[in-house]
C-alpha cells in the first residue's frame, strides 16, 4: 500500500501538462486532491476522472489570498492537508529588444512570489501538525546560463535557494521540503515557444513526458520519514548539458 493512501495533496497549475499528470499519479496512489488553476472546465474534467475524492479552486495563483483559500478548502473538505506541490508557472523569454516586460513581471509573481507565499502558508500548517511535504517544481534552467531566458533561469535559481533555506529551517519538524528540476518536457509551455511552422517541436530525441515528472514527485513524497530528497534533477536520456 502506498504511503499516500488517505493523504490530502494540493497541486497548483493542475489544469494541464505536468500538473495534471501529478494530480493523476497522486490520486492513483490513494491521495485526495485539491486542484487549482485558471481553467475550470479542464479542472472539472480532470477531477471527474480521478480515483479518489477531489476539490477544485479555480483561481489566479498570483493572487495574495489564493494560498490561504487552498489551505482552507483542503481543511474544510478533507479535514487536513499533507502535501503541497507548487507546480504553476510559465516562461517569458526573448531578446533584450523583444522581451515583454509586463510578461516578465507576471512571471516573477507566478513563478516565484506565489511559490514563496504558498510555501510559507502551508509550511506553517505542516509545522503545527508535525508532518507534511512541500515539493517546488523548478527547472534545469536553474543550473544553466542561456541567452533569452535570463529572467526565467534567475527565478528558478532563486526558487532553489529559497527552497533549500526553508528545508533547513523546517529540519526536525517532520516537514519535508525539496525541489524537482525537469528538463525539456512535452507540455503546452514549450509548444507555445516554437515557431508556427514546427508541427511537433519535441518529436526528435527523447523529451520527458509529464508522467515522468509526476512519477519523480511521487517518489520524493513517498520516501520514509527519515529521508528528505532536497533536490532532484530529471534530465531527458539525450540531454547533454
Query: What is the side-by-side strand order in the sheet with 54-58?
Result: 54-58, 32-37, 8-11, 83-86, 132-137, 175-182, 231-234
- For the chain, report the end-to-end CA distance as a whole number of angstroms: 37
Nine cell digits for residue 110: 507566478
From residue 66, alpha-carbon distances to 73, 113, 166, 194 in Å are 10, 12, 20, 31
241 part of the active site: no
Q: Tell me the three state secondary structure of residue 72.
A: helix
Active-site residues, by number, are 152
Amino acid at each position: 500500500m502506498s504511503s499516500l493512501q488517505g493523504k490530502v495533496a494540493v497541486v497548483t497549475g493542475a489544469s494541464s501538462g505536468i500538473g495534471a499528470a501529478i494530480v493523476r499519479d497522486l490520486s492513483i496512489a490513494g491521495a485526495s486532491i485539491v486542484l487549482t488553476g485558471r481553467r475550470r472546465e479542464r479542472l472539472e474534467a480532470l477531477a471527474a476522472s480521478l480515483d479518489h475524492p477531489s476539490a477544485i479552486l479555480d483561481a489566479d495563483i498570483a493572487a495574495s489570498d489564493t494560498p490561504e483559500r487552498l489551505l482552507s478548502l483542503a481543511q474544510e473538505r478533507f479535514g487536513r492537508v499533507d502535501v503541497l506541490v507548487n507546480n504553476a508557472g510559465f516562461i517569458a523569454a526573448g531578446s533584450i529588444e523583444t522581451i515583454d516586460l509586463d510578461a516578465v513581471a507576471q512571471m516573477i509573481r507566478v513563478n516565484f512570489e506565489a511559490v514563496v507565499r504558498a510555501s510559507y502558508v502551508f509550511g506553517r500548517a505542516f509545522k503545527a501538525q508535525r508532518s507534511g511535504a512541500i515539493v517546488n517544481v523548478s527547472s534545469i534552467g536553474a543550473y544553466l546560463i542561456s541567452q533569452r531566458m535570463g529572467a526565467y533561469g534567475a527565478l528558478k535559481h532563486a526558487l532553489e535557494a529559497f527552497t533549500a533555506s526553508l528545508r533547513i529551517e523546517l529540519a526536525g519538524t517532520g516537514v519535508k521540503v525539496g525541489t524537482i528540476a525537469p528538463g525539456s518536457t512535452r507540455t503546452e509551455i514549450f509548444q507555445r515557444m516554437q515557431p508556427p511552422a514546427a508541427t511537433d517541436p519535441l518529436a526528435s530525441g527523447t523529451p520527458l513526458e509529464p508522467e515522468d515528472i509526476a512519477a519523480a514527485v511521487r517518489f520524493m513524497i513517498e520516501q520514509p520519514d527519515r529521508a528528505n530528497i532536497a533536490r532532484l534533477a530529471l534530465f531527458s536520456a539525450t540531454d547533454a548539458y
